[in-house]
């Protein structure tokens, strides 16, 4: 490497360096510098002149010095590195970011990450061990695997396009699907009247006191909580502008004034210029599992309730409606629930919503078991009545968000935490098995459509070369000329095309046959791990349903 540096002196030819690197993304530039550190450390150490050279090049490429420190620590086997910087490098070098390039870069990024220090496990509170989202985590693993497969198909289609077998439009189609898979997120909205504990519920869901809480109504703007590589808060205004704000500013902007909260909310809410506030955080387990949480201002006194609910429910996968268990489901709340059901069902008034959860908060204020049972019956009778609001299992829950949050922060186990765990498990399973399964099926359908078009294109090209499809001599000559332009030898390229077609068709056939032949054995092996808590004698229907679900999951 030192010899190459001396001969080429790239670090002195800044304009040439910048011209070469101009098309590269931030991740690609970081990978490029990573190669430099990999080469420098090949002899077991990084010389001072090598280090200086890499720092100069990195500075011209706009790479952060702290990211270089991570590389140096990784390739010289040091463990002392800032967790935030390490997380950023892992984020930028994620193999998924290089899917559009050759697969060799995907492997290179993966190998480079393996050489760096491992990402630290975030353990802010015991929430990460007490409240987990296992099914959502599995879903994200499967989504990433599907994204990888999509990248592999994209590479095959690109190779075929370079040989003039397939049109460029197929590359655009598969990359469009790949982008949708990469950006796939679940959207969870929390709605209800003012002073029902929505902010405390969100803090309990996240295991950290993020949302501002007061004894009087306080949420004045739509707030979106999502995963980000570092903590930051973005305020978006109705005029289209946005700015990054501090946590203290967030506490002010996300709340209405105490005077307005005590007197009248409508005027201040109507005058607000804020469209939404986006809170990004790296350590929130629910958000890192691919969920964006939307917190609404209280809907009962909002001057434009319909507009706000439409914004909240856009692309929403599930809605949590919060009520006060000690005085649950006032007439205003019942009207709100009917509105929510209709909007979730796109105006179909006679159909219940399957993605609506009704949660009674402040259950700790209802002391007796009989009183709690009466609260549950009151809610269930309304939502499951003659014109049902919701449909599905475990859609009604009784919790104490404040007691749960205190248990999480104090690392304590109590009945409120267990009730909250039951609630979060219901959300976890619904997003994964109901909403998530539909999303994956939709992605697979799109991938299969592109794959079938690709196969049809290859078969058609094969028929043209074999003379089965009659085309004019002029058109045939154009095809041969295009092939000739690509290689300069039309006969050679035709022979290569025939060989490659046979290879592709043979590989596809072999893959399908192998999967089909192994399917029965694979299902048989997996079925040994199926189980159910229900008895065939007393709960035959539930037992059958359990095994049907497990069979479907195995085949998927």
Mean per-residue pLDDT, 378-399:
91
- Between 422 and 110, the more confident residue is 422
Cα–Cα distance measured from residue 6 to residue 3, given in angstroms and rounded to the nearest whole number: 5
Alpha-carbon 556 to chain mean position: 20
Q: What is the pLDDT of residue 127?
A: 40
- Between 303 and 69, the more confident residue is 69
**Mean pLDDT, the chain, as a whole number?**
82
Confidence of residue 187 (pLDDT cuts 50, 70, 90): very high
Mean per-residue pLDDT, 479-489:
63
Mean per-residue pLDDT, 241-265:
64
Confidence of residue 467 (pLDDT cuts 50, 70, 90): low
Report whether pLDDT(268) > 50.
Answer: no
SS3 assignment, position 218: coil
Q: What is the pLDDT of residue 255?
A: 59
Residue that the structure tokens 């999951």 belong to = 553
Report whether pLDDT(19) > 70.
Answer: yes
Q: What is the pLDDT of residue 129?
A: 42
| Spatial contact of 551 and 529, defined as CB atoms under 8 Å apart | no
**What DSSP element (H or E) covers 325?**
none
Q: What is the pLDDT of residue 320?
A: 94
Q: What is the pLDDT of residue 90?
A: 83
Alpha-carbon 524 to chain mean position: 32
Mean per-residue pLDDT, 324-338:
87
Q: What is the pLDDT of residue 44?
A: 80
- pLDDT per residue over 520-536, tens digit each? 888 999 898 888 888 88
Query: How many Cβ atoms sit within 10 Å of the Cβ of residue 124?
Result: 14
**DSSP labels, 46-87:** --HHHHHHHHHHHHHHT--HHHHHHHHHHHTT-----HHHHH
Confidence of residue 215 (pLDDT cuts 50, 70, 90): very low
Report whether pLDDT(93) > 70.
Answer: yes
Residue that the structure tokens 């059958």 belong to = 544
Report whether pLDDT(231) > 50.
Answer: yes
Q: Domain segments of the chain: what residues?
A: 2-115, 136-181+439-519, 182-438
Complete edge-to-edge strand list for the sheet that includes strand 396-398:
242-245, 232-237, 274-281, 223-227, 291-295, 186-192, 318-324, 356-361, 396-398
- pLDDT per residue over 299-322, tens digit each? 655 555 556 666 777 788 999 999
DSSP assigned state of 372: H
Report whether pLDDT(185) > 60.
Answer: yes
* Full-model pTM: 0.59
Report whether pLDDT(234) > 80.
Answer: yes
Return the percentage of the chain with pLDDT > 90, whole number: 18
- Between 61 and 487, the more confident residue is 61
Q: Determine the CATH number of domain 182-438.
A: 3.40.50.300
Report whether pLDDT(182) > 60.
Answer: yes
């Amino acid at each position: 490497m030192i010899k190459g540096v001396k001969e080429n002196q790239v670090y002195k030819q800044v304009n040439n360096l910048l011209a070469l690197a101009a098309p590269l993304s931030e991740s690609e530039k970081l990978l490029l510098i990573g190669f430099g550190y990999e080469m420098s450390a090949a002899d077991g150490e990084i010389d001072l002149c090598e280090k200086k050279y890499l720092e100069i090049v990195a500075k011209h490429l706009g790479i952060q010095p702290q990211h270089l420190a991570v590389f140096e620590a990784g390739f010289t086997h040091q463990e002392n590195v800032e967790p935030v910087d390490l997380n950023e490098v892992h984020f930028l070098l994620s193999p998924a970011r290089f899917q559009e390039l050759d697969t060799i870069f995907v492997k290179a990024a993966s190998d480079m990450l393996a050489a760096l220090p491992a990402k630290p496990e975030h353990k802010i509170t015991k929430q990460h061990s007490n409240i987990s989202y296992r099914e959502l985590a599995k879903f994200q693993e499967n989504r990433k695997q599907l994204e990888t497969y999509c990248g592999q198909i994209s590479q095959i289609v690109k190779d075929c396009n370079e040989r003039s077998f397939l049109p460029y439009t197929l590359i655009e189609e598969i990359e469009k699907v790949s982008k949708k898979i990469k950006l796939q997120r679940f959207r969870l909205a929390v709605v209800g009247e003012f002073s029902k504990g929505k902010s405390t519920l969100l803090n309990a869901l996240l295991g950290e006191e993020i949302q501002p809480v007061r004894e009087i109504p306080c949420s004045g703007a739509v707030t979106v909580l999502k995963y980000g590589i570092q903590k930051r808060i973005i305020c978006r205004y109705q005029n289209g502008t946005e700015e990054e704000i501090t946590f203290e500013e967030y506490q002010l902007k996300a709340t209405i004034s105490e005077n307005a909260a005590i007197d009248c909310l409508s005027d201040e809410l109507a005058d607000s210029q804020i469209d939404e506030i986006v809170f990004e955080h790296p350590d929130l387990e629910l958000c890192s599992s691919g969920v964006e949480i939307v917190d609404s201002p209280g809907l009962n006194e909002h001057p434009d309730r319909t507009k706000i609910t439409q914004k909240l429910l856009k692309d929403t996968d599930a809605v949590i409606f919060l009520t006060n268990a000690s005085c649950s489901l006032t007439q205003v709340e019942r009207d709100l629930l009917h509105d929510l059901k209709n909007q979730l069902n796109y105006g179909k008034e006679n159909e219940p919503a399957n993605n609506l959860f009704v949660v009674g908060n402040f259950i700790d204020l209802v002391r007796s078991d009989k009183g709690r049972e009466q609260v549950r019956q009151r809610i269930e009778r309304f939502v499951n009545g003659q014109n049902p609001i919701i449909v599905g299992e475990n859609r009604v829950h009784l919790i104490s968000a404040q007691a749960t949050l205190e248990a999480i922060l104090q690392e304590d186990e109590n009945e409120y935490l267990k009730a909250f765990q039951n609630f979060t498990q219901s959300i976890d399973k619904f997003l994964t098995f109901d909403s998530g399964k539909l999303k994956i099926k939709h992605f697979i359908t799109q991938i299969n459509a592109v794959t079938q078009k690709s196969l049809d294109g290859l078969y058609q090209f094969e028929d043209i070369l074999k003379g089965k499809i009659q085309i004019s001599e002029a058109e045939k000559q154009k095809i041969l000329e295009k092939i000739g332009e690509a290689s300069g030898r039309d006969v050679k390229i035709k022979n290569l095309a025939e060989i490659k077609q046979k290879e592709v068709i043979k590989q596809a056939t072999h893959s399908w046959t192998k999967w089909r032949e192994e399917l029965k054995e694979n299902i048989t092996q997996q079925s040994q791990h199926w189980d159910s808590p229900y008895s065939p004698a007393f709960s035959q229907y539930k037992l059958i349903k359990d095994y049907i679900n497990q069979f479907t999951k195995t085949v998927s």
